[in-house]
Amino acid sequence: MQKAMTGAKMVVQALKDQGVEVVFGYPGGAVLPIYDEIFQQNEIRHVLVRHEQGAVHAAEGYARATGKPGVCLVTSGPGATNAVTGLTDALMDSIPIVVLTGQVPTFMIGNDAFQEADTVGITRPCTKHNWLVKETERLSDVIHQAFHVATAGRPGPVLVDIPKDVQFASAGYTPKQKARTTHYQPKVKGDLDRITELAELMAKAERPILYTGGGVINSGPAASQLLRELAEETGFPVTSTLMGLGAYPASGKQWLGMLGMHGLYEANLAMHGCDLMINIGARFDDRITGRLQDFSPRSKKAHIDIDPSSINKVIHVDIPIVGDVAHVLEDLLHVWKAQGRKVNREGLAKWWAQIEDWRAVDCLKFEQTGRTIKPQHALARLEALTRDHPDRYICTEVGQHQMWAAQYMGFDAPNRWMTSGGLGTMGYGFPASIGVQMAHPDALVINVAGEASWLMNMQEMGTAVQYRLPVKQFILNNERLGMVRQWQELLHGERYSHSWSEALPDFVKLAEAFGAKGIHCADPDTLDEAIMEMLAYDGPVIFDCLVEKHENCFPMIPSGEPHNKMLLGEASTLDAIGAKGAVLV
């Protein structure tokens, strides 16, 4: 006989059974019974955020830094609606999170009760799956299923909506092992015939490229290891999307840097000129492809993805392989070795010579001149001073600083880089850094931010201080919405419509008001010293780094243009974006 307990107790028990250690949440009327159970135990730590959006991003940061699902607990109505941005963010970036929401009691649902919202209706399109649990007997089973769905196949956010009367009522508890196994079992093994076909093409290729993405990270550490093995075995060049940084080490010889709209020259031209493109866990996002008709026109394309709907969605591929990256790469390496395949050495040598020519352009070069800190310089210094830290995690907000961080910071391991890729959520990075630091209390966690993004979830300073999380908020402050400003310059005749703030806070005083440390730096000569001071401080720091206000982010593929039409700097920007490109984002 299953042990009987209240729904609220069941929630806590199910979380324990799932190995949950941390819950990010915010209490309210409809989740009070669950909070009462949390109060009466010590195994699960609860982190009180200052806004539900912060809870979800923190859970995302936790999930990305650990590979385990992140968990949130919020109340009904506004608690649930505030979680929507985070859910959408996690859906776009395939991050496994489980959000538990309180709901008004079942007998009041549909009556426009206080703090009632149609949570499952609102979150249906922004979750992988969601459940409204109307019977306590189903509750523990559903929570176990929720963890399964969030983590199986292509990961994603799930939500369980729990009415208050269901939390109070008692029923038998279903342990994890006895939970109803759902039919949801995505295929992880790739088709061997296709894999063999790919191995054949790899042996013939003269200009191959490995185009990797977040799927490698999501597949787990083994996938990154296998990717490195594959690169080592073949000598193929490797590039990655924003989401996949760290899967292949930035210090590796074959690393071309990030590709895409603000990717590196050599990476984008190699994508354009290759004859075999092997997409491993990426999804041909519009930030990557540019103009579709001219995307890598002369290549055969293979695509490894666990989600069948990703294949042929944007770009038609020649060899589709549906499966988990680690499983497919393992089979691919096995086939490659078993058949004694060798790469086309001569072709590959010419290809690398061509790539070296592109590399010689040195597309990220900049000059730190004058008395104002260039944002690139700030990040290059931050990188130089933290690169050798044994346990470093970098989060970002969204905008120019995010692209510069991706360009100037290097990642040698997966799960060390948390950024909002698909949705582009300003306000993501700070709460995400809190989630990362909760998972790794002794690590160095830095959030590279712009002042505008950072202000969007600045209330989480309270959380950082309360839980003594020594997160470093490295703000590149240009007093502008830098990326918006850049587009207005390039596209809208330099009419800077509402893209600056005339009422920014004094970040040092702001930090002090929260009980944290504030550092201000505007002088290139004292930058290193200031960064060292930030690193040395044992506690949360807001680092206000005043930077050049009108710096643009290059290289850049203008909207509506192909990879080989990159802009390398200011001189090339005149009329770079045509009328067709202007409608794109």
Catalytic residue numbers? 52, 114-115, 164, 483
CA distances from 530 to 111, 244, 383, 545 (A): 57, 31, 14, 9
In whole angstroms, how close is the CB of 274 to other proteins at the nearest point? Answer: 21
Cβ proximity to other proteins, 132 vs 270, nearer residue: 132
Encoded tokens for 220:
């787990």
Q: State how far the Cα of 186 lies from the Cα of 579, in Å rounded to an integer.
A: 43
How near is the Cβ of 187 to other proteins at its closest, in Å?
Answer: 11
SS3 270: helix
Question: Shortest distance, CB of residue 224 to other proteins, whole angstroms?
Answer: 25
Q: Which two tokens stand for residue 86?
A: 């985070």
On the CB side of 241, CA atoms within 13 Å amount to: 26
Minimal distance, residue 309 CB to other proteins, in Å? 4
Q: At what angle do helices 325-338 and 192-204 cross, to 10 degrees?
A: 60
- List CB contacts of 421: < 8 A, sequence separation 6 or more: 92, 93, 214, 241, 242, 243
Output the smallest distance, CB 313 to other proteins, in A.
6
Asked if residue 25 lies in contact with residue 48, where contact means CB atoms within 8 angstroms, the answer is yes
Minimum CB distance to other proteins smaller for 150 or for 475: 150
Name every residue whose Cβ is closer than 8 Å to that of residue 456 and which is 6 or more positions away in sequence. 397, 426, 427
Handedness of CA 69, 328, 283, 342 (dihedral sign): positive
As beta bridge partners, residue 304 has: 280, 321
Nearest by Cα to 28 from 155, 140, 164: 164
Closer CB to other proteins, 19 or 125, in the complex: 125
Least spacing, CB of residue 585 vs other proteins, in Å? 17
Under DSSP, the state recorded for 374 is P
Helices and strands, number each (H, E), in the chain: 24, 20
Q: 3-state DSSP call for residue 470?
A: coil
The answer to whether the beta carbons of residues 477 and 466 sit under 8 Å apart is no
Shortest spacing between CB 105 and other proteins, in angstroms: 17
* Structure tokens, 76: 């009904």
**Which pair of structure tokens corresponds to residue 348?**
């590959």
Residues at the site binding other proteins, with contacts judged by CB under 8 A: 120-121, 124-125, 128-130, 132, 149, 182-184, 307-309, 311-313, 316
CB 238 within 8 A of CB 266: no
Residue carrying the six token digits 């004094």 = 506
Helix (H) or strand (E) run with residue 461 in it: helix 461-466
- Give dist(CA 207, CA 406) in Å, integer: 25
Toward other proteins, which CB reaches closer, 308 or 462?
Answer: 308
Q: Minimum distance between the CB of residue 165 and other proteins, rounded to whole angstroms?
A: 17
Pick the closer one to other proteins by CB: 124 or 342.
124
Structure tokens given for 424 = 């582009």
Q: Which is nearer to other proteins, 253 or 316 (CB)?
A: 316
- The CB-of-527 to other proteins minimum distance in angstroms stands at 47
Q: Which is nearer to other proteins, 316 or 550 (CB)?
A: 316
Select 134 or 341, whichever has its Cβ closest to other proteins.
134
Strand positions, DSSP E, 97-141 = 97-103, 129-132
- Taking the C-alpha atoms of residue 61 and residue 294, their distance in angstroms, rounded to an integer, is 36
User: Which residue, 126 or 343, has its beta carbon nearer to other proteins?
Assistant: 126
Strand partners of residue 255: 238
